[in-house]
Amino acid sequence: PYAELLQEMVLGPIGMSSSTFAQPLPVDRDSNAARAHGISGAAMGPKWHVYPELAAAGLW
C-alpha cells in the first residue's frame, strides 16, 4: 500500500516514472539502480541493501 500510494500521489504527478518505493527492488528495475564501483571501474560489494523501513532510505 505505501509504495502504491506514493506512486499515485507523489511520484506519478511529478513525472518520476523510474522511481519506486517497492521493496525489494523489482527485477525489471535492476539495471537502473546505481551500485558501488571501485577506482578500477569494477562493481564492488553487494548490489544494494534492502531496507524494511520504506520511508527511510526506501526510494529507488
d(CA 22, CA 18): 12
Confidence bin at 60 (pLDDT 50/70/90): confident
Calculate ∠ Cα 9-60-32, nearest 5°.
120
Average pLDDT over residues 32-41: 91
Q: Is the pLDDT of residue 14 over 90?
A: yes
d(CA 28, CA 33): 10
9 or 25: whose pLDDT is higher?
9
Q: Which three cell numbers stand for residue 34?
A: 546505481
The phi, psi pair for 6, rounded to 5°, reads -65, -35
| Predicted model pTM | 0.66
Distance, C-alpha 33 to centroid of its chain: 6
